[in-house]
Structure 1
Amino acid sequence: MKIVWEQSIYVGNAPVFCSICGCQSYPVRNQNNQLLLAVIYNKQGVALGEACRDCVASGSVGIRSRLEERIQSLQAKIAELQTLAETEIQTPSLEQEFQAYRRDTV
């Protein structure tokens, strides 16, 4: 993985989500008033996403630790979703939905 500060390709101060920690992040404004993002590249030079300032500042060891934390969090979420997918799914009928809608508008 290689992280490079580059000029933002997005219009304005649009937020992005850090590919390392998953938090919302905003571009950094440099001395020339340009908006910069820390872009993450793989070994083949393909951009994989952006990194937030905190992750970049944490260095290699900090990034590895944050990635491990995020991996564990995502694996727990996957397990939760797999459990949901294995159970019977019951959705409300159209009549039940209509009744709930009418209750909210009265």
Structure 2
Amino acid sequence: MEQIKALPEGVAGMVFSKTEIAALEAAPEDARAVVFYRYWTAKEAVLKALGTGLSVSGRSFTIDISRPETPRLVSADWKDEDTQAWQLAAFHPKDGFAGAVAVRTQRPLRLNLQSWSFGE
């Protein structure tokens, strides 16, 4: 999960695929930060699910975020990777935040978000 803030300069070119960079650049100026963090959190979720950390380049796979709540892994340069075997889900716990989870499974992924508050 990430707080949506100013677009970090130069990061997209280091971790996004060419397709993702093109989509980011095509987004309206006032929506680019949201688009960036949708991609960023989905890519981060896939890397965490792989368990490889940053040893796998974010540029080696492409995420489609055209359906905001259900991003999809559409291509990957990993050996014998079946992109259909991945389920992703995006969530927005509150305004100004974006998050995603990724699981390698054929089963549909359903999130159940809980809100917690602690006494002051």
If the length of structure 1 is used for normalisation, what is the TM-score? 0.27
If the length of structure 2 is used for normalisation, what is the TM-score? 0.25
Larger helix proportion of the pair: 1
Whose relative contact order is higher, 1 or 2, with alpha carbons under 8 Å and at least 6 apart? Answer: 2
Greater CA radius of gyration, 1 or 2? 1
